[in-house]
Amino acid sequence: MSDKPVFLYDTTLRDGTQGEGFQLSGLDKLRIAQRLDAFGIDYIEGGWPGSNPKDVEFFREARKLDLQHAKLAAFGSTRRANVKVEEDPQVQLLLDAETPVVTIFGKSWEMQVTEVLRTTVEENQAMIRDTVAHLAKHGREVIYDAEHFFDGYKDSPEHALRTLEAAAEGGAACLVLCDTNGGTLPSEVMQICKAVRDRIPGTPVGIHTHNDCELGVANAISAVKAGAVQIQGTINGYGERTGNCNLTSVIPILQLKMGLPMVPKLEKLRELSYFVDDVANNPHFARAPFVGRTAFAHKGGMHVNAVKKNSRSYEHIEPASVGNEQNILVSELSGQDNILIRAAGLGLPLEKGSAEAAAVLRRIKELEHEGYSFEAAGGSLELLIRRELGIYQKPFDLTEYHTSFRQYRDGHRPVCEATVKLEVGGTPELTVAEGNGVVNALDVALRKALLPFYPAIEGVSLVDYKVRIIDGHDATAAKTRVLIVSTDGEKNWGTVGVSENIIEASWLAIVDSIDLFLQRNA
């Protein structure tokens, strides 16, 4: 290891994939490895070559990667008990992966040695020492992960420390202390890390934490304060049970709060976070620190007023430093500044103290009382502002719409149909369409009716549709809120509709979606 103060060891491709709902193909892993390298991660753990064909394939293909910064690591275990290290096929697979770094784990907890491995303390130490020495003899940089180290230390400090000494004697480049069960407190991590450094001063120490007590990041920071020089974790905190130490939180804390140089372009952090989520086909966690959509969101009127004057009043860092941005929300809690900032962002000339600004704010509060929500419906908010400013032109007049659902007794596929009758500039139009459900049929019929007059709407499509029941105690008579997201291929926008009737709520949201596109492209 070089003289960098703290090294970043990413195990998203191995430990992260042990998390529920997080799956990666071989190609996915290669793509993520390249992005981790470009971001500035020091070590990338690719997987366990002996555990499954996918990881064997990954390491074969990974040899072709032109990594500019990161070292690729293969992961595995010590030799089996009472087996010569040269004859253990799992150890040989680690060498066959041809990575410059090999990370192996061994047992630190005496209970695990005697009850899980069913071997002696002495044989366990020999397993650690032999495996590290064998891999080091073949030119590998060997990182030793001391599994269950903190639990083992709390049971028997001397036994746990002797397992680390065995790894150090074998030539380990770094001794990584693992809080495998995620139940250790920051104060304990700091005290135990200091004890390890005092006992084995000649070998660097690392930290591997889990988030079972939601202390994964805090424990990693405590270890660094106690002298750890390597942090293991995953992007977005993916991992077994409640996850691993979240690198997207640890990295900015170390770099921005503690002044430790970690990556050259921290402003790429949010982009990396979203990339990993997208590749894994998982939704982004909106409230994630630093990188989440709401990390720098402001809703209360007093907060927005203060942020407008000085963003430091309610933001602990510059959002752009981690690739994020300030997000001013609009709701019934809003003050006029919320509206003005959003309007300015949309390029709409709404002025502070004007009758139009007051009218917009009043109308928002009225609509939110009825069940509307504009936080994720910026498109409907923009239309509201345009109407109050008098820069809105109604694209069509609805005469009527009708929907039907027919289910046949013979088990044939049900038929959903919609009829839309409207006028554009005095010209009547009547269309009928079928769809996958009455809402889809209504959407198709409306577009079909408008297409002769506004051919550009052919490029608009709906990409998300969400239904929320308001005041569920009213049961089937409850109001329904429909939020949809639309796109023209370049920009996305959200619109909202509310009604006791789910079809009408959907109609209102769909109409706003197309209406906004036409206003912007008039």
Q: Hey, what domains does the chain have and what are their CATH numbers?
A: 7-264 (3.20.20.70), 354-388+455-522 (3.30.160.340), 396-453 (3.30.160.740)
Sign of the four-CA dihedral 122, 123, 126, 131: negative
pLDDT at 1 (0 to 100): 57
Query: Who wins on pLDDT, 195 or 467?
Result: 195
| Residue 225 burial class via C-beta count within 10 angstroms: exposed 0-12, middle 13-18, buried 19 and up | middle
> What Cα–Cα distance (Å) separates residue 319 from each residue in 158, 194, 253, 297, 507?
46, 35, 13, 10, 37
Query: Who wins on pLDDT, 2 or 461?
Result: 461
- The C-alpha torsion from 99 through 25 and 39 to 320, rounded to 10°, is -160
| Residue 28 burial class via C-beta count within 10 angstroms: exposed 0-12, middle 13-18, buried 19 and up | middle
pLDDT of 333 higher than 70: no
Q: Where is 230: in which H helix or E strand?
A: strand 230-233
pLDDT at 278 (0 to 100): 85
pLDDT at 218 (0 to 100): 98
pLDDT at 334 (0 to 100): 58
501-507 contact pairs (CB < 8 A, 24+): 502/439, 502/467, 503/403, 503/438, 503/439, 503/442, 505/467, 505/479, 505/480, 505/481, 506/439, 506/442, 506/465, 506/482, 507/401, 507/442
pLDDT at 258 (0 to 100): 96
pLDDT of 368 higher than 90: no
75: number of Cβ within 10 Å: 26
Per DSSP, what are the bridge partners of residue 231? 8, 207
Q: Identify the three-state secondary structure at position 51.
A: coil
Q: Where is 143: in which H helix or E strand?
A: strand 141-147
Query: Who wins on pLDDT, 415 or 418?
Result: 418
What does the chain come to in residues?
522
CA gap 159, 162 in Å, rounded: 5
User: pTM higher than 0.75 for the full model?
Assistant: no
> Percentage of residues in the chain with pLDDT exceeding 90?
58
pLDDT at 381 (0 to 100): 86
pLDDT of 477 higher than 70: no
492: number of Cβ within 10 Å: 13
- The C-alpha torsion from 457 through 461 and 464 to 470, rounded to 10°, is 30
The mean pLDDT of 379-388, rounded to a whole number, is: 85
Q: Give 500-520 pLDDT, tens digit per residue.
A: 888 999 999 999 999 989 988
pLDDT of 17 higher than 80: yes
Query: Who wins on pLDDT, 373 or 443?
Result: 443
pLDDT at 205 (0 to 100): 98
- The C-alpha torsion from 291 through 293 and 294 to 300, rounded to 10°, is 140
In the chain, what is the straight-line distance between the N-terminal and C-terminal CA atoms, in Å? 61
Q: Give 76-93 pLDDT, tens digit per residue.
A: 999 999 999 999 999 999
Q: Give 97-114 pLDDT, tens digit per residue.
A: 999 999 999 999 999 999
The mean pLDDT of 189-197, rounded to a whole number, is: 97
Nearby residues of 366 by Cβ (< 8 Å), 6 or more positions away: none
pLDDT at 212 (0 to 100): 97
Mean of pLDDT over the chain: 89
pLDDT at 332 (0 to 100): 56
pLDDT at 310 (0 to 100): 77
Reported as a pLDDT band with limits 50, 70 and 90, residue 339 is confident
Q: What is the DSSP letter of 79?
A: P
Reported as a pLDDT band with limits 50, 70 and 90, residue 466 is confident
pLDDT at 446 (0 to 100): 93
- Out of 250-254, 342-346, 449-453, 465-469, give the one with best mean pLDDT: 250-254
Query: Who wins on pLDDT, 348 or 397?
Result: 397
Q: Give 214-225 pLDDT, tens digit per residue.
A: 999 999 999 999
Q: Give 138-187 pLDDT, tens digit per residue.
A: 999 999 999 999 999 999 999 999 999 999 999 999 999 999 999 999 99
pLDDT of 131 higher than 80: yes
